[in-house]
Structure 1
Amino acid sequence: MSDRMRMGYYPSHLTSFRSLPVHTFVPAGDARPAPRPAADSAAWRLAADWDTPFERVWRGFLDEVRTEDVVAVVVGPWWTEWDEDGIDPVLELLAAEAHRFPRLRALFLADVESEESEISWIKQGTVTRVLRAWPELEELGIRGADDLVVEPLRHDALRTLRIESGGLAPDPVRALGGCEFPALRRLELWLGTTWYGGDCEVADVESLLAALGRCPDLRHLGLQNSDIQDGIAAAVSAAPVVAGLRSLDLSMGALGDEGGAALLSGQPLTHLSSLSLRHHFMTGELVGRLRESLEPHGTDLDLTPATRRSRGVEGRYVAVGE
């Protein structure tokens, strides 16, 4: 997101979103709420708890806050005990009242910690519904990808899209390739592991990279947290869209010497201001070659290695799975 989460590798609650502090809304009468900020000075977090269903939180928010001034909303857990239906009922509530949020520019779906639900258990839904409801939305963040549906569409305002997952299925990735986001500047996808539904193949990534050529303002690309990080690195090394980037993030995955060598032998990366390969499994020799190739050009490199569990490819793992 525009405000990077300070979270290591374990998804945690957002403390800021769209450069605004996150403030959890508490309906009047449920508890003694903290003083409320002005509607446009916070990213409003809406979450159910054991005693308060999401519908009550939502209705209280509509009644008690000047929603016409709200610019950012963060949706936390929407279940009181467990989630059976996924986020679609919540998306229906939001979309039905979109006219009451004319200034909304940023939305985060599923600000959920592992104590509330593991990332691979979070049930999403047809998230492009909110893009249709808010044609002026500029930032969309999504955590979790179980049952995630992306419908190909054109959206002229979206600048930042981030999907965090332990396993992103091929269909949403292919659908993103069918979308038109002419204003997109930042795209971050955690592709995950096959153990949790991350079954994308390199061909899916290649198709997405080709489609991103329709995003002339794209400046940051993250293709992260993948079992197939070597193949992704090879695809990136030949993708024309990379020439327009300022930063590239291939971190959190099972990147080894094969992927590192592909980056070195492909198109020049010396124009990048930053390249993150954090959590990698490359040898010291490849790390040294990357430093020699890029650091003299001022590229900020993050080459922090992962802790090896065992030797060989079978010892590699993604940073976020379950």
Structure 2
Amino acid sequence: MRDREATEPCTHRIAHVERADVQRRCEVGRGGRLRDHAHLQRRHGGEGSDAPHEHGDRGRHARVARLREDRHDHGERGKLRISATSDFGRNLLMKWLDEFRALYPEVRFALTLTDTISNLVLEDIDLSIRFGTPADSSLVARPLAPNRRVLCASPAYLARKGVPGEPGDLARFDCIVISSVAGPVNEWRFTRDGHTQTYTVPMEDALETTDGAVARQWALCGYGLAVKSIWDVADDLRAGRLKIVMPDWRYPDAPLHALYHRNRFLAPRVRALLEFLTERFAQTAGELNALVPCTDDAMPAERRRRAQRTQRRPNRAGA
């Protein structure tokens, strides 16, 4: 018996270990809860899978590689597949990932930067960093940070064209529009003191792109006004390369979320990155608020009235 075991092909042993590991993950999920076999088949492309069929050796090797990585989920190691928006990913996330890898040197990254919403299951994404709240109920959206969106332009452009004071002034300015699969985001809605005004950017006159990083670059080049998340342009605002215009008119916020699939096992490396990013966002959020000019018009109406009453009140000190 021992001689037969000794001559058993190594590949059969690996396959046996992998099948046992898959069975273990199927039966025991996070927190010891049972997980059904259908979920396992969907995840790894078995019978009843919703994922596209993978042909040939390439698909089989990819599945085996993923299973081998999952066997090491007892610690912060292995490959972390991340998706993020292009501008945020280049300007901030890459720096934070460098810091994270210094803490966890056995973690490797597969980073996808795109402004298109990824299919986390089909594209095998562990974690996606996105602005706004997703409509997909199969995803968990963990809040990371508030995010104010601002209308901004380069100082050179404002010196040449002037500074808009309200949404009605935008008709005489060049506007940079970001488009998505749903179409161009050319209805810019601003609110002040509870009153909302919408300016619809004429697309025949607009500069249009599907990439937020391109929109930011065009604004830096002095091509026009762009609506950008403050996380994307924070360094440009600090350096004076961009200026916020119409700060008293607020564009709808789009909070940052970390997205992951509701039914997917969260490896320790994913949980560690979530905690790390939450801490980094908390440390940085306060600094960003200081970048938005605080004018009297930017105050809520009631707060402004209270401030005016305080200023008119006679100083009775020493009376």
TM-score band, normalised by the shorter chain? under 0.3
- Structure with higher Rg: it is 2
The TM-score, its normalising length taken from structure 1, stands at: 0.25
TM-score, with normalisation over the residues of structure 2? 0.25
| Greater relative contact order (Cα < 8 A, sep 6+) | 2
Higher strand share: 2
